[in-house]
Amino acid sequence: MANVRSHKGTTPHFGERTWVDPSAVVIGDVTLGDDCSVWPMTVIRGDMHHIRIGSRCSIQDGSVLHITHASDYNPDGWPLILGDDVTVGHKALLHGCTIGSRVLVGMGATVMDGAVVEDEVIIGAGCLVPPGKRLESGYLYVGSPCKQARALSEKERTFFTYTAANYVKLKDEYLAEC
């Protein structure tokens, strides 16, 4: 596939039943788990560090996922890591950060280098998570820069696996058409 490319001899690896839209681009040292979906116009670029995405993750339209390379300024660089059941909303930017499991990244949100998002977090639409910031499990974060808004309700906590399963079902429809 022209939209899945090797870089310096490293080719992206996909788990079972993972679907990448033909208009999305995945390059280099990237691993996606089982039942992931990568939607139109998304770029996942593991060209100077690695990207690891867990199972049942949905990376939605126009999102950009990248890393921070190793340099004199940051000798180890920052890989990009996502846990399981992560829904990344349309046009989100994730750069050299770590995202736990059962996380919703709102549309247009930006999560910067070295930021850590613990499990079960909602990052509001348009939110900016600054470099090195840690988002504590069980909360909604909003704003630019982000601030902890409130604790998540039990209903919101069940939404993480609901929305992940919903996107697994939708990508299965796309796979069936291929």
pLDDT in tens, the chain (178 residues): 669 999 999 999 999 999 999 999 999 999 999 999 999 999 999 999 999 999 999 999 999 999 999 999 899 999 999 999 999 999 999 999 999 999 999 999 999 999 999 999 999 999 999 999 999 999 999 999 999 999 999 999 999 999 999 999 999 999 999 8
Q: What pTM, to 2 d.p., does this model score?
A: 0.96
Residue 43 sits in a domain whose CATH number is 2.160.10.10
Give the domain range for residue 89: 4-177
Residues 6 or more apart whose CB falls under 8 angstroms from that of 73 comprise none
Catalogue the E-assigned strands of 54-130: 58-59, 64-66, 80-82, 87-88, 93-95, 98-99, 103-105, 110-111, 116-117, 121-123, 128-129
Total number of domains in the chain: 1
